[in-house]
Amino acid sequence: MARELGITLYLFVFRVFFNLFKRLPQKKKTVCVASFGDNIFYAVRELQKRSNEEIIILKDKSCRFDFDALHVKSISFAIKHPFAFLLSIYHLATSTTIMIDTYYGFLDVTRFRKNARCIQLWHAAGALKQFGLQDPSIAERSQRAKNRFQNVYSRFDYTVVGSDEMAATFKRCFGLTEDRIVRTGVPRTDIFFDDHEKQRILYDLKQDLQAIGDRKIILYAPTFRKGELDHFQLALDIHMMYQSLANEYVLFIKPHPAVSYSIEDSYKDFVFDVSKYSDTNHLLLITDILITDYSSIPFEYALLEKPMIFFAYDLEKYKLSNGLIDDYENQMPGPVVSTTEEIVDAIHHNKFDYNKIHEFSEQWNTYSNGESSKQLAAFLTDTEKKPKEKVLV
């Protein structure tokens, strides 16, 4: 009850100021609301090559992405900074293009002008978890909350996808229609196809991580658990991994940005906290083996066709609380395990099916071909004729 009251008050204030600012002259500008930031970064970088319009980044409290290289105005989008918050609402109310990268409740009370458009650059290239209208927790929410969710999804004029599989997912989870899907590919995947940028990123990371030497890199990147946001519990047996793998490997740990956690420092020459690196795809470039669970990270990692392990130690519990895609165990392009011992065994015995990894990538990355940012920028500026299979009309 208290949470709903707080949301209602927040949205009331937002609506009042948004409607006031909407009376002011509209300007040709793009306003981006960033939570994750990476898709927005690559989209804006390409948009700058095609348009001179003003571009503004509104960074919410969870956004750690560095936009300095874009040389655009960046504003804190947080109510604890009242002036910046009101300025953010002003820009949203007077813009022609709004780009977002996750669910934002404020969209419930924003009626953008008829010639403005809202683009959803969702932060995941694929989906293993149920979300949106398919989230199991929806059943426990009030009717007011359910209406709010539907209103938010209805604000997405276009949603960008990298595959037909993800298009179908958005139709189910957001209630979208075919004409609101844009098949330009996921912007942040472009770096996997850019040899020059890959070499620069690899050089910078290796300079920064000289302590790893010639050892191979295992990256553990789990998703969040709703009940562990403030006290994430690492389920890996670090001691076992150290004893079995430390001569040949190092272990990078990057929990979901939404969680708080601590990592014991008993194995400093083996375990590295890499949470400071905001662009996870940079880390994927130097990763030799990925360990994850129900995160969306495998969809992009599959583009590199490297091995991955799915550490689903709480699989049945997670299915009930969050919901997962059907037949999760057989759809994953790597061993699905529940213990650290099984992880070590999979690595030692190379239990990886590279054909399955390739097929998984083909299924989920159909339109992410290295030109995604260019194709999206072309769509936004109408500067090139887009192929029918890339963008729905």
pLDDT in tens, 203-243: 999 899 988 999 999 999 998 777 665 566 788 999 999 99
Q: Which of 135-149, 226-240, 279-293 has the lowest mean pLDDT?
A: 226-240
Q: Residue 158 domain-assigned? A: yes
Same domain, yes or no: 181 and 223 = no
> Does residue 116 share a domain with residue 37?
yes
Q: How confident is the model at residue 387 (pLDDT cuts 50, 70, 90)?
A: very low
Single-letter amino acid code for the residue at 331 = Q
133 and 68 part of one domain? yes
Confirm whether 387 is domain-assigned.
no
Statement to judge: residues 77 and 146 lie in one domain: yes
Do 147 and 284 share a structural domain?
A: no
User: How many Cα atoms sit within 13 Å of 47 on the Cβ side?
Assistant: 25
The H-or-E segment that residue 146 falls in is helix 143-154
Question: Over pLDDT 70: what percentage of the chain?
Answer: 93
The pLDDT tens digits for 336-347 are 999 999 999 999
Instruction: Report the alpha-carbon distance of residue 106 to residue 128 in Å, rounded.
Output: 26
Pair 174, 214 in one domain = no
- Answer yes or no: is 388 within a domain: no
Taking residues 110-134, report their average pLDDT.
Answer: 94
Instruction: Provide Rg for the chain, Cα atoms.
Output: 21
- At 391 the pLDDT is 43
Mean pLDDT computed over 152-169 = 97
Q: Residue 389 falls within a domain, yes or no?
A: no
In the predicted model, is pLDDT for residue 70 greater than 90? Answer: yes
In a domain, 80, yes or no: yes
Q: What's the half-sphere exposure (Cβ side, CA atoms, 13 Å) at 387? A: 10
Is residue 171, in this structure, part of any structural domain at all? yes
CATH of the domain at 212: 3.40.50.12580
Q: What is the CATH number of the domain that holds 29?
A: 3.40.50.11820
211-232 in b/e burial notation, b at 16+ Cβ within 10 A?
ebeebebbbbbbbbbeeeeeeb
Q: Same domain for 167 and 29?
A: yes
170 and 234 housed in the same domain: no
Q: State whether 45 and 182 are in the same domain.
A: yes
The pLDDT assigned to 232 comes to 67
Number of domains into which the chain is organized: 2
The reply to whether 11 falls in a domain is: yes
Indicate the pLDDT class of residue 392, thresholds 50, 70 and 90: very low
Asked whether residue 182 is assigned to any structural domain, the reply reads: yes
The residue segments making up the domain with residue 324 are 191-364
Above 70 in pLDDT, residue 384? no
Indicate whether 83 and 198 sit together in one domain: no
* Same domain membership, residue 308 and residue 360: yes
Confidence tier at 390 by pLDDT (50, 70, 90): very low
Q: What is the pLDDT of residues 185-208, one digit of tens each?
A: 999 999 999 999 999 999 999 899
> Measured between alpha carbons, how far is 78 from 273 in angstroms, rounded to an integer?
27
CB-based contact 152:11 (threshold 8 Å): no
pLDDT one-digit tens code per residue, 110-121: 999 999 999 999
Q: Could you tell me if 31 and 58 are in contact, meaning their C-beta atoms sit under 8 angstroms apart?
A: yes
2-15 residue pLDDT tens: 788 899 999 999 99
Q: Does residue 256 register a pLDDT over 80?
A: no
Same domain for 145 and 42: yes
> Does 388 have pLDDT greater than 70?
no
